Amino acid sequence: MLHARKLVLAHFWVAFVAFLGAIVLGAWQMYIRSPLSTWINNPEHYYRSVTAHGTVMAYVLPTLVAMGFGYAISELALKRPLVGLRWAWAGFGLVIGGTVLAAGAMAAGKASVLYTFYPPMIASPIYYFGVVLVVVGSWIWVALMSINLHAWRRENPGATVPLAMYGNLAGAYLWAWTSVGAAVEVLVLILPASLGLTDTINAGLARVLFSWTLHAIVYFWLMPAYIAFYTLFPRAIGGRLYSDTMGRVAFALFLVFSMPIGIHHLFADPQVGAGFKFVHAAMTAMVSIPTLLTVFTIVASAEIAGRLRGGRGTFGWIRALPWDRPMMLAVTFSFLMLGLGGAGGLVNMSYQLNETVHNTQWVTGHFHLIFGGAIVIMYFMVAYELWPQLARSAPLPAAWIRLQLWLWFIGMLVLSLPWHWVGLLGQPRRMAYFDYRHPALEPQAWTVTMSTFGGLILAVSAVLFVVILARAHRKPAEPAAFTFGAAAHPGLRPPFALNGFALWIAMMIGLSVVNYGYPIVQLALLKEASVPVIPIGSR
């Protein structure tokens, strides 16, 4: 069935091997700064590791998963071979080449700028070339997704785009527009400085441009998970999707609102006006709406499944759900982590509350819980669901998968809940070591030890994940045909606007111009915003 089988498999394998390496680095980082270890003698090694962990987890893993899953959706949902298979391999090659370049620069200690770049710190140009290649490779994917949808539309005029493909394209268009910010930052501001063409950099503008990418990128990470909620979960638990239209509304709202809100990452930055900070905070609150819609729709879909399985009463359907199925477990864990992390996120985005947690360990806890927890656990499920198709194998062992999911869920809570707690107490993030002898810090030392064990559990879970996938290759079998979840009312036509993207893309661009136009132009014209660059690892 899958013509692009090897392509998708290559994306997933590279993503998961890189993920495994990065998780070992993450676990080491937690150990080395805990009371279990002596202080690291060369703190630069810690920041080198943070840079590598962040670059892989934030750029390489989600980009490759979104690309691989996107190609698979294109074939499975549109039921036609992928157009532009060679281009897709070329895009994959660019991502790999970029990853290798960036990894080389990081390993050599020439790029310990953390994955958020932070000008005026400047790394070796090789690192930035690597990142640019990864992004350009992913733009090929964006173009191919769009081309495939148009090819399908020509063959099926007037037909409703399958929900999985609709979400896939929403993620692709979102990524295309949001990556422009970091691309402009790297190409116009950072690379000239890194290549030695300029001695100063407009750090304020660079940070604003990065915020353009920084927040919406998390919704790009999140799209594969949401597509799995809407199109894989209902079928996997033997139910129906409560509302196909609600899924489209959620994807469209993400497209409009996830982009022009990034300045909530700059609440402590003096170069941005308080008025824009408030507008971005208000718009950030809007992205909770598609998430709440999704939680409602998916829980309603689970209720359909529970009642179909004989559940009765107000809560009886919950007991009737197929709890032994990995997908049921994964979505439950995902929602629990989404709920906790989302509540923490509301604190981050509030202009006033943010002051309490800004740049503390709370922030690290928040995005590990949301991304590493709620989203990555769904990446696992996407891989598990597709693997029989990709590896032409028998269904994967459910008991092992359940163990892996439990370990991931427990590990993530053990890791990130202590971070939230000490973040409230004021522990700064990104520290290579803490002086636990100090009477004020000594009572908090146990939290770092606890997070170390959380990291260890996560590393075990990640190894298990890769082992389960690898072992499947040894058990070849002809897989059953792949299907996406059906809606409760199949054949219901969504409104015109929710079968296309033109309206939502226009609103996304319009709102971006309104929310970012003035701060960008003003900072670009401000001479005082340029500061001397600080090359890292150059001497």
Partner 1 sequence: MAEPAAMSWRNPWVRGSVAVLIALTIAAMLVGFLWLPSAQADFSAQGLWASICRAAGVPSSWAPATDAARDARPVSTEVVLERSMARDGDKDAIGRGATLALNCTMCHGAHGMSGSDAPNLAGQYPEVVIKQMHDYKSGKRASPIMEQISKALSDRGIADLAAYYAYLPKARTAPTTYDETLPALVRVGDPMRNIAPCISCHGGVDQKFGTPWLEGMPSSYLVVQLQAFASGARRNDSQAQMRNMARAMTPLEIQELAAFYARKASEGERRP
350 lies in the site for partner 1, by CB under 8 A: no
- Amino acid residing at 319: R
For tokens 């219901």, the residue is 492
- Report how far residue 374's alpha carbon sits from residue 342's, in angstroms, rounded to the nearest whole number: 10
Name residues contacting partner 1, limited to 246-265 (CB under 8 A): 256
| Shortest Å, Cβ 51 to partner 1 | 14
- Report how far residue 100's alpha carbon sits from residue 418's, in angstroms, rounded to the nearest whole number: 34
**Of 268-276, 403-411, 417-425, 461-469: span binding partner 1 (CB under 8 A):** 268-276
272 lies in the site for partner 1, by CB under 8 A: yes
Number of Cβ within a 10 Å radius of residue 163: 23
- Report how far residue 448's alpha carbon sits from residue 454's, in angstroms, rounded to the nearest whole number: 10
Strands (E) in 234-344, as ranges, are none
Let me know: does 107 contact 198? Beta carbons within 8 Å.
no
273 lies in the site for partner 1, by CB under 8 A: yes
237 lies in the site for partner 1, by CB under 8 A: no
Which of the following is catalytic: 33, 248, 265, 366?
366
Nearer to partner 1, 150 or 489 (CB): 150
State the burial class of residue 139 (Cβ atoms within 10 Å of its Cβ: 0-12, 13-18, 19+).
Answer: middle
Binding track over 508-527 against partner 1, x by CB under 8 A: --xx--xx--xx--x---x-
- Report how far residue 406's alpha carbon sits from residue 391's, in angstroms, rounded to the nearest whole number: 24
Let me know: does 121 contact 210? Beta carbons within 8 Å.
no
353 lies in the site for partner 1, by CB under 8 A: no
* Closest listed residue to residue 291, CA positions, set 374, 175, 178, 169: 374
Size of the site for partner 1 (CB under 8 A): 58
Q: Is 367 one of the catalytic residues?
A: yes
276 lies in the site for partner 1, by CB under 8 A: yes
Q: Is 368 one of the catalytic residues?
A: yes
| CB burial readout 446-464, b (16+ within 10 A) else e | ebbbbbbbbbbbbbbbbeb
| Shortest Å, Cβ 495 to partner 1 | 6
Which of the following is catalytic: 368, 371, 420, 516?
368
Q: Is 366 one of the catalytic residues?
A: yes
271 lies in the site for partner 1, by CB under 8 A: yes
* Closest listed residue to residue 333, CA positions, set 402, 385, 397, 418: 402
Candidates 195, 282, 299, 467: give the one binding partner 1 (CB under 8 A): 282
Which of the following is catalytic: 12, 128, 219, 230?
219
| Shortest Å, Cβ 497 to partner 1 | 4
Candidates 154, 199, 313, 490: give the one binding partner 1 (CB under 8 A): 199
435 lies in the site for partner 1, by CB under 8 A: yes
433 lies in the site for partner 1, by CB under 8 A: yes
Candidates 187, 299, 470, 497: give the one binding partner 1 (CB under 8 A): 497
- Report how far residue 285's alpha carbon sits from residue 264's, in angstroms, rounded to the nearest whole number: 11
* Closest listed residue to residue 119, CA positions, set 31, 32, 190: 190
Which of the following is catalytic: 207, 215, 248, 265?
215
Candidates 136, 151, 180, 279: give the one binding partner 1 (CB under 8 A): 279
Distance of CA 63 to CAs 56, 67, 496, 521, 528, Å? 10, 6, 30, 30, 36
| Shortest Å, Cβ 52 to partner 1 | 17
List beta partners, residue 200: 532
For tokens 């007991």, the residue is 319
507 lies in the site for partner 1, by CB under 8 A: yes
Nearer to partner 1, 64 or 256 (CB): 256
Name residues contacting partner 1, limited to 23-62 (CB under 8 A): 38-44
Distance of CA 440 to CAs 48, 267, 415, 437, Å? 29, 28, 22, 9
174 lies in the site for partner 1, by CB under 8 A: no
Candidates 158, 313, 490, 491: give the one binding partner 1 (CB under 8 A): 158
Nearer to partner 1, 312 or 493 (CB): 493
**Of 223-231, 237-245, 408-416, 433-441: span binding partner 1 (CB under 8 A):** 433-441
* Closest listed residue to residue 259, CA positions, set 135, 367, 174: 174
Binding residues for partner 1 (CB under 8 A): 38-44, 153, 157-159, 161, 199, 256, 271-279, 282-283, 286, 431, 433-435, 438, 441, 495-500, 502-503, 506-507, 510-511, 514-515, 518-519, 522, 526, 528, 532-534, 536-539
Catalytic residue annotation: 215, 219, 366-368, 429-430
